[in-house]
Amino acid sequence: MKPKVLVTREVFDEALAYLAEHFEVDANQGDVPLGAEQLAARLAGKAGALTTLVDRIDAALLAQCPELKAVCNIAVGFNNFDLAACTEHGVMATNTPGVLDDSTADFTWALILAAARRVGESERYLRAGQWTGWKLKQFLGTDVHHATLGILGMGRIGQKVARRAHGFDMPVIYHNSKRLPEEIERACNATYVGLDELLARADIFTVHAPYSQATHHLVGAEAFAKMKDGVVFIHASRGGVVDDAALVAALGSGKIGAAGLDVYEGEPKLNAELLKFDNVVLTPHIASSSEATRRNMAMLAAQNLVAALGGGMPPNLLNPDLGRA
């Protein structure tokens, strides 16, 4: 008899077909988000699950699902997993790093250009029928070329963002929990600086730090106060890394000249004050959302699940200490 698995949200047909070769699949193709009680009920008797960032896997849920052996996120982030609880309960947890790096870096640049050059604001103006003709001072934006790009968080995605800056002749500075090896810095044409220097020098500031308790509100009122007046601020990592209330205050004071945001605290809810600013580009957590990338993410998660329940080592295991728990 094949093991039973749950796919918590709608996925692509090829991922379901691949899973069906190995498992009895319960798939939520209706794509209705499952609350905690519904998720626990659907996971009853299941050996594994393909999950998303909205599915909270914690000690309370795991206690109700003793047969669960693996949870595999269709995401590079995994702050929906209580990894300690997963390890304690003998549940392997995986994510999908690597396959979304380029698409997320591309989208970061879409936000940079749209925010700096007032693309969203000017498009709304035109669509509303307000454009009456060309004017010399109309929608004056900020040049991206030659501006200093500051990157907070220089993992795989941050490095991809830095490499793309070369085409705009931009000096790149970065701050990270650990300095990168010199060969990577050279490849990215990036210079390591302290956090305060990063905040003070960046003309365009982009956040690529993962979310954890250590990075909660890493960018808040104190950080915004140290930034250049008129800085272009970009956030496409994880909600909670930035204090959205402090961001609203910095926008209101004019400290931030423009912003491009793809993630928010408490999403899909967001601070309603953000909607009041014409100089903010807002997108609904879609930085990795190209068709090819999302298909690859779903398939990698499925491959993780097959490996985990097949007696092998999943390629993207997040809790390798499982055997020592």
The question of whether 145 is a catalytic residue gets the answer: no
User: Which residues lie closer than 8 Å to 159 by C-beta, 6 or more apart?
Assistant: 180, 184, 187, 188, 190
Q: CA 138 to CA 88: how far, in whole Å?
A: 60
Tell me how many degrees the CA angle 113-99-188 measures, rounded to the nearest 5.
55
Q: CA 121 to CA 282: how far, in whole Å?
A: 11
Give me the residue label for tokens 């907070």.
Answer: 152
- Burial tier of 10 (Cβ tally within 10 Å: 0-12, 13-18, 19+): middle
Cβ proximity of 172 and 144 under 8 Å: no
Tokens of 94: 């995986």
CA 45 to each of CA 22, 66, 83, 238: distance values in angstroms, whole numbers, following the listed order: 16, 8, 21, 32
CA 154 to each of CA 20, 73, 151, 157, 237: distance values in angstroms, whole numbers, following the listed order: 38, 22, 7, 7, 12
Q: CA 116 to CA 237: how far, in whole Å?
A: 19
The question of whether 285 is a catalytic residue gets the answer: yes
Q: Given 201, 216, 217, 285, which residue is catalytic?
A: 285
Cβ proximity of 238 and 78 under 8 Å: no
The question of whether 175 is a catalytic residue gets the answer: no
- Check residue 228 and report its DSSP letter: P
Q: Given 267, 273, 291, 324, which residue is catalytic?
A: 267
Task: Give CA 236 to chain center in angstroms.
Answer: 6
Q: Given 235, 238, 265, 294, which residue is catalytic?
A: 238
Q: CA 41 to CA 56: how far, in whole Å?
A: 14
Q: Which residues are catalytic?
A: 238, 267, 285
